[in-house]
Amino acid sequence: MLRVHPAMRGIVTVANHVAGPADAASPGRPHTVHRMREHTVEVVSDSGEGAQKCSQIFGAVSAKMGNGVWTVEIIPAEIQPPARAPEGASGNRIRLGAGQVTNWGDDTNLVVAFNEQVLLARHRAGALARDATILLEDKWATDDDADIRDAWLQAMREIADVGYRVVTVPMEERCLTLVDDARKGKNMFALGMLAFIYQRNLDLVFEQIAHTFRKKSDAVYARNVDLVRLGYDWAGAHLDFRIEITPEPNDRPMVVMNGNEAIGMGAIASGMELCAMYPITPATSVSHYLSEVFERFGGVVHQAEDEIAAAGVAIGASYAGKVAFTITSGPGLALKTEFLGLAVMTEVPLVVVNVQRGGPSTGLPTKVEQSDLLAALFAQPGDAPRVVIAPATIEECFHVMTTARRIAEAFRAVVIVLSDANLATGVQPFPRPEVDTRWHAEPADLSAVLAGRKPYGWDESTGLSRRIVPGQRGGMHTVTGLSHDEGSKVAYSAGVHGRGMAMRSRKIAVLSSLLTPPTPYGAEEGDLLIVGWGSTKGAIEEAVDRARAAGLSVASLHLRFLSPMEPGLTAIFQRFRRVATVEINYSDTMGDPYVTEENRRRGQLSWLLRAQTLVDVDCWTRVPGEPLRPGAIVQAMHDLMPPRGDA
C-alpha cells in the first residue's frame, strides 16, 4: 500500500495509487515510459542491509543487457557503523548509459533508500539531482519509537524544499509476508523494483542471483527470487513510470569487473607468479581475487607480516626469477620506500601497484585521491629513478600489468603502477581481452654465463644490462645496496658512484625516447588545455565534450607515463593559450590568505609539468573524497578559460 505521511504533503507528487492485481504481466497502474540516453541510480542502506549486493547484481545485469555501466561504491568508513546514521550510508551508485559510460557522472536521478537517515547522507553530500525520484522505506514514519518518528519528520523537513519526488514504499511490510527478518530481504525487493523500472530481463536477474549466492543453499536462491518478484510486482502495481535506455548495438564480447580484479587478472595474464602484500584498503581486494584463482595458474600470494616484508619478499622472488609484484596503498608505499631504494640500486626488476587513497597518514582509507604522484616519483632518500605509470580506465588496469612487467624486466627497473580507489572499486564493462601467450614472461634463463659478462654490464649509452640470476653457472656475484661497479664490487670512489648513478638514470631517458607523444582529446589547439592522469580521464573527457558543445575552445590531454614524462608536451602546450591540470589532490587556491604565485603549493602533476616544460601550468584540484564530476569540471573550465585577448 502506498502511504503518504502528513509531513510530506507538498513534496510528494505521486498520485494516489490505484489498487490493482499485483501481477507483473499486467501492471496495475498505467505508467509512462521515459526514454533516456543515460540515468543514474543509487541504492543506499545501513551497512549490512545488502544494498551493495542489490546494486552489484543490478549493474551486472545491465551490463549483460548491453548498457554502458559505471558503478561506484558508497562505503562507510567503519565496518559496523550505528544503524540509521548518515555516516553509515552504504551502497552503490550506478550510472547506466546507452553507450559506453566512462565515469560516475554528476547527480543521481533515482534513489532507493532503506531509511531516511542514509537518504539524508546522500542529500547532504550533494549527490542527488534536484528532481531526483526517491523510493523510500516508509516504516520509520510510524515507528513505535518517538525519537525515530521525530527524526523522520526532521529529515523530511530538511529535504522538503529541494523538489525531490519522494515515493514511500512499504518495503518492510511487504518483505515480512515472505521472510521473518526484513533486513535480510529488502535488498532483493529493491532489486525487483529496479528490475521493473529499468525493464530488466528477469531471467538474467535470476541467473545473476544464482551466481552471486552460489555458495548458499537452493532455499536462499528461491527466497531471493521470490523477493525480487515481490518488489517487481509491487512496482508494477504502484509506480507510474518506467525508464528505457536502449543499448547501442555492440557485438564485441564484454567482461565486467572492477579495477582491482582487473589488476589481479592482468597480473596473471602477464605471467607473473608471485604477489606479496599486506592488507590495506583499498588495495587488498586484488589479493582476495588472486588468492582465489592465482594458484591454479601456478602463482603464489604471500601475505607478509608487514608492508616492508611484502616488498622484500617480492624483491627476493624477482631477484631469483620472474618479476614479482607487490600491491599497496599510500601508507604502505611509505613503508616500502627503503626496499624500493634497494631494488633501484640493485636493479632488481619489480612491479609495485599503489591503489591511492586519501592522505596524508591514514587519511581517507576508503576514498579516492591522487596524492601519491610525487611520492611515487621522489619518495626516496638518494636519487632513485623509477618508472611510474597510471592506468586511466579499468580496462587499462588489466593491460598495464603486462606492460609494467615487461618494462621492469627490460630496464631492470622498479615500475610503480598508480591506480586509485575510484578505479579499484568502480565496475565497468570493457571488451574481453584476447589473451596473447606472448604477454607471458619467459622462464628465467639459467644458462651458463659467458666469460666476461658482468652482473651490471651496462651499455654505456643506454645504461641497460642483462641480469644474471642464481642458478646460472659462472655468474656468481653478490648484489649490494652499497655503491658498486659493473662487477657488483663495492666501491666508494667518486667515479664509480657517479657512473652507477648515471647508468640508472639513463634508463629513464631511454624509456622516454621510446614513448610516443600523446594526442590531445577534443582539439589540437585552442584556448584551454586540461591535463589529467589516472582515473579522471572519463570525467575530464566528458566535460570536454560538454564544454565544446557549449562553445568553449577546450581540449584535454591524459598522461599514462609520469616517469618518464611523456615526450612532446612543451610543443603541445604551446598550441594552447592556457594549460591547467585537473587532479584529485590538494593545491592552494589563489586568493587564499598568504597564498601568492610564488609560494603557492600546486597540484602534483602541475608541479611536475612546470618543472619539466617551463610552461606556466595552472591547476584545478579538489579533495572531496569522491571522484570528480564532469559537471564540476565543466564549471572549472569556464573559470580557467583565459580572458579574450590575453596572449
Residues 331-390 that bind other proteins (CB under 8 A): 338-339, 341-342, 346
Using CB under 8 A, which of 15, 219, 450, 494 touches other proteins?
450
CB 340 within 8 A of CB 386: yes
Using CB under 8 A, which of 2, 96, 311, 388 touches other proteins?
311
Judged by CB under 8 A, does residue 496 bind other proteins? no
- Shortest distance (Å) from residue 12 CB to other proteins: 51
Judged by CB under 8 A, does residue 476 bind other proteins? yes
Judged by CB under 8 A, does residue 229 bind other proteins? no
Judged by CB under 8 A, does residue 316 bind other proteins? yes
Comparison of 43 and 274: residue with beta carbon closer to other proteins: 274
Using CB under 8 A, which of 472, 505, 613, 635 touches other proteins?
472
Comparison of 273 and 542: residue with beta carbon closer to other proteins: 273
The region of 141-149, 164-172, 306-314, 365-373 touching other proteins under the rule CB under 8 A is: 306-314
Amino acid (one-letter) located at 476:
M
Beta-carbon-side half-sphere exposure of residue 616 (alpha carbons within 13 Å): 7
Beta-carbon-side half-sphere exposure of residue 25 (alpha carbons within 13 Å): 0
The count of other CB atoms within 10 Å of the CB of residue 259 is 30
Judged by CB under 8 A, does residue 309 bind other proteins? yes
- Shortest distance (Å) from residue 321 CB to other proteins: 5
Using CB under 8 A, which of 26, 201, 250, 478 touches other proteins?
478
Cross-strand partners of 358 = 364
The region of 152-160, 182-190, 320-328, 525-533 touching other proteins under the rule CB under 8 A is: 320-328
Is 398 strand, coil or helix? helix
> Which residues inside 258-287 make contact with other proteins, applying CB under 8 A?
270, 273-274, 276
CA dist list (Å): 204 to 25, 332, 502:
17, 40, 59
- Shortest distance (Å) from residue 248 CB to other proteins: 23
Which residues fall within 8 angstroms of residue 65, CB to CB, at 6 or more apart?
A: 200, 201, 204, 247
Beta-carbon-side half-sphere exposure of residue 45 (alpha carbons within 13 Å): 24
Using CB under 8 A, which of 213, 221, 439, 607 touches other proteins?
439
Q: Which three cell numbers stand for residue 85?
A: 546514521
The region of 65-73, 142-150, 421-429, 482-490 touching other proteins under the rule CB under 8 A is: 482-490
Query: For the packed helices 259-269 and 284-293, what is the interaxial angle rounded to 10 degrees?
Result: 50
User: E strands within 291-435?
Assistant: 300-303, 325-328, 350-356, 387-389, 414-420, 427-431
The region of 42-50, 128-136, 208-216, 440-448 touching other proteins under the rule CB under 8 A is: 440-448
The region of 26-34, 53-61, 64-72, 475-483 touching other proteins under the rule CB under 8 A is: 475-483
Using CB under 8 A, which of 3, 29, 302, 577 touches other proteins?
302
Judged by CB under 8 A, does residue 325 bind other proteins? no
Is 246 strand, coil or helix? coil
N- to C-terminal Cα separation, the chain: 65
> Which residues inside 546-565 make contact with other proteins, applying CB under 8 A?
560-561
Comparison of 333 and 401: residue with beta carbon closer to other proteins: 401
Judged by CB under 8 A, does residue 509 bind other proteins? no
Comparison of 60 and 464: residue with beta carbon closer to other proteins: 464
Chain-centre distance for alpha carbon 506: 33
Query: Which of 607, 627, 619 lies closest to 565, judged by CA?
Result: 607
**DSSP state, residue 537:** H
The region of 226-234, 315-323, 596-604, 619-627 touching other proteins under the rule CB under 8 A is: 315-323
Judged by CB under 8 A, does residue 219 bind other proteins? no
The region of 26-34, 287-295, 304-312, 630-638 touching other proteins under the rule CB under 8 A is: 304-312
Comparison of 196 and 561: residue with beta carbon closer to other proteins: 561
**Max CA-CA distance within the chain?**
91
Using CB under 8 A, which of 19, 33, 77, 490 touches other proteins?
490
Which residues fall within 8 angstroms of residue 520, CB to CB, at 6 or more apart?
A: 529, 555, 556, 557, 572
The site that binds other proteins (CB under 8 A) totals a number of residues, namely: 76
Using CB under 8 A, which of 21, 163, 474, 498 touches other proteins?
474
**DSSP state, residue 469:** -
Judged by CB under 8 A, does residue 480 bind other proteins? yes
CB 130 within 8 A of CB 162: yes
> Which residues inside 417-436 make contact with other proteins, applying CB under 8 A?
433, 436
Give just the sign of the alpha carbon dihedral 624, 625, 626, 627: positive
CB 108 within 8 A of CB 127: yes
- Shortest distance (Å) from residue 617 CB to other proteins: 22
Comparison of 130 and 438: residue with beta carbon closer to other proteins: 438
User: Order of strands, edge to edge, in the sheet holding 618-621?
Assistant: 554-559, 526-533, 576-583, 618-621
Distance between CA atoms of residues 578 and 606, nearest Å: 13
Helix ranges (H only) for 239-325 are 259-269, 284-293, 307-320
- Shortest distance (Å) from residue 39 CB to other proteins: 31
Distance between CA atoms of residues 247 and 222, nearest Å: 30
Using CB under 8 A, which of 403, 483, 563, 587 touches other proteins?
403
**Residue 153 CB burial class (10 angstroms; 0-12, 13-18, ≥19):** middle
Judged by CB under 8 A, does residue 399 bind other proteins? yes
The region of 65-73, 82-90, 149-157, 514-522 touching other proteins under the rule CB under 8 A is: 514-522
**DSSP state, residue 6:** G
Give just the sign of the alpha carbon dihedral 293, 297, 301, 302: positive
- What residue has cell string 564530476? 629
Q: Which three cell numbers stand for residue 414?
A: 622498479
Using CB under 8 A, which of 255, 379, 410, 523 touches other proteins?
410
- Shortest distance (Å) from residue 416 CB to other proteins: 15
Using CB under 8 A, which of 308, 334, 496, 595 touches other proteins?
308
Judged by CB under 8 A, does residue 443 bind other proteins? yes
- Shortest distance (Å) from residue 58 CB to other proteins: 30
Judged by CB under 8 A, does residue 113 bind other proteins? no
Judged by CB under 8 A, does residue 319 bind other proteins? yes
The region of 34-42, 200-208, 297-305, 606-614 touching other proteins under the rule CB under 8 A is: 297-305
Supply the DSSP string of 24-41, one letter for each residue. Answer: TTS-SS--EEEE-SEEEE
